[in-house]
Each structure stands twice: as structure tokens, then as C-alpha cells.
Amino acid sequence: MAVIMENAQVADTATLGRDVRVWELAQIREDAVLGDGCIVGRGAYVGTGVTIGRHVKIQNYALVYEPATLADGVFVGPAAVLTNDRVPRAVDPDGELKQRHDWRPEGVEVAEGASLGARSVCVAPVRIGRWAMVAAGAVVTRDVPDFALVMGVPAKRVGWVGRHGERLVEKEPGTWLCPVTGERYLEHDGVMAEAP
């Protein structure tokens, strides 16, 4: 059963999985879908039709604009923003207020297990790869590979992380290890994958 704080706003057409928790002042818009075990923090916003997998944590005041998709196990840090308009304007070239039909929303896709740090911004359209980590305050303007650690403005890859979240250590060319679990990862041509 979902737990929704009294002053949160959840649209009647939103679909919430089992054990979803929605905290104070959060807003979940029409036709949004949240999988089992999700947590939506205080003041967070989930846009119309956004699709969110299982066990996703959206921290306080994060903004997830449609048509974003978040896979299972994604972490969205406090005040992170997933945008949906690469060329935002309030008015058209004639100075008239733009309406919904005047723009084409573009989404951010966040793959399984990825983490977006506090106050990071993902400028749509971008894809954040599986188990990747976006540092706090980073501005992502291009796709992030699986297991990549990116930081800066604009965000650039500065290393690799494993499923545990720790920075991987290169033991020999192309072979990386998690310092916590000892799991092996293989890098080839800028692509990281778990060793079979």
C-alpha cells in the first residue's frame, strides 16, 4: 500500500506501485507511473506521463520533467533537474506566449542503478547509462556510458564506478576491479562491461 503525506499532490490518473512513499509537498502529475518501493521526497516533482521503475529514490526538491524514464534502482539526488526542452522560450518570435503545441518535449533516460548527484542537471535529450554516476552539480549535455563517473560543467567522464558505487581501479590495461567487492570489469574502446 502506498503512503502519501496529506499535503502531497498525486493525480488521480497516476499509477503507484506497492509500498511507494510520497512525502510532503511532492507533486506527481497525470499518468505518471511509479514502480514498487519508490520514494518521492519532500517538494519533488514528477511530470505528466513520466515512467519510473522499482525502488527508485527521488530526493527532496528534485524535478523530473516529462517524458523522462527512470529504470529500476535509480537515485535522483536533492534538487537535481531532468529537463525536457533544449531550446526553451516563453514566447514565439512574434512575442506571443508559447502554448503546449508550440514545443516538442524531449526526455532524459536514466538506466538501471544510475545515480544523479545533488543539484545535477541533465539537459534533454540524454541517456545516463547503467550504474553510471553523475557528480553533484554536474551539467550533463551528452550521453553518459554505462558505469561512467562524470563531473563538471559540462560533465566529462573522469573515471569508472562499479555496481557498489565505488570508483574502479585499473589493475592492468582494460581490466578494472571494484575495491570493495573485487568484482572485475572490462573496458574496450571506451565501453565498460562487467566481466563474465
- Do residue 72 and residue 147 come from a single domain? yes
Whether residues 112 and 36 fall in one domain: yes
Residue showing cell 507533486: 27
Per-residue pLDDT tens over the stretch 24-42? 999 999 999 999 999 999 9
120 and 185 belong to one structural domain? no
169 and 155 in one domain?
no
- If asked whether residues 48 and 91 sit together in one domain, one would say yes
Q: Are residues 120 and 173 in the same domain?
A: no
pLDDT score for 166: 97
Q: Could you tell me the CATH number of the domain that includes residue 74?
A: 2.160.10.10
Domain extent, residue 88, equals: 3-161
With CA atoms as reference, report the closest residue to 62 among 7, 52, 54. 52
- Do 154 and 182 belong to one domain? no
- Give the pLDDT of residue 125: 97
Low-confidence ranges of the chain (pLDDT < 70): none
State residue 134's pLDDT score.
98
Which pLDDT does position 103 carry in this prediction? 82
pLDDT of residue 102: 84
* Same domain flag for 179 and 120: no
pTM: 0.95
- Total structural domains within the chain: 2
Q: What is the pLDDT of residues 126-147, one digit of tens each?
A: 999 999 999 999 999 999 999 9
Residues 7 and 77 occupy one common structural domain? yes
CA atoms of 7 and 11, how far apart (whole Å): 13
Q: Which amino acid is at 64?
A: V
Same domain, yes or no, for 140 and 123?
A: yes
Residue 52 and residue 38 in contact, taking contact as beta carbons nearer than 8 Å: yes
Same domain for 171 and 111: no
pLDDT value of position 43: 98
Give the distance from CA 136 to its chain's centroid. 13
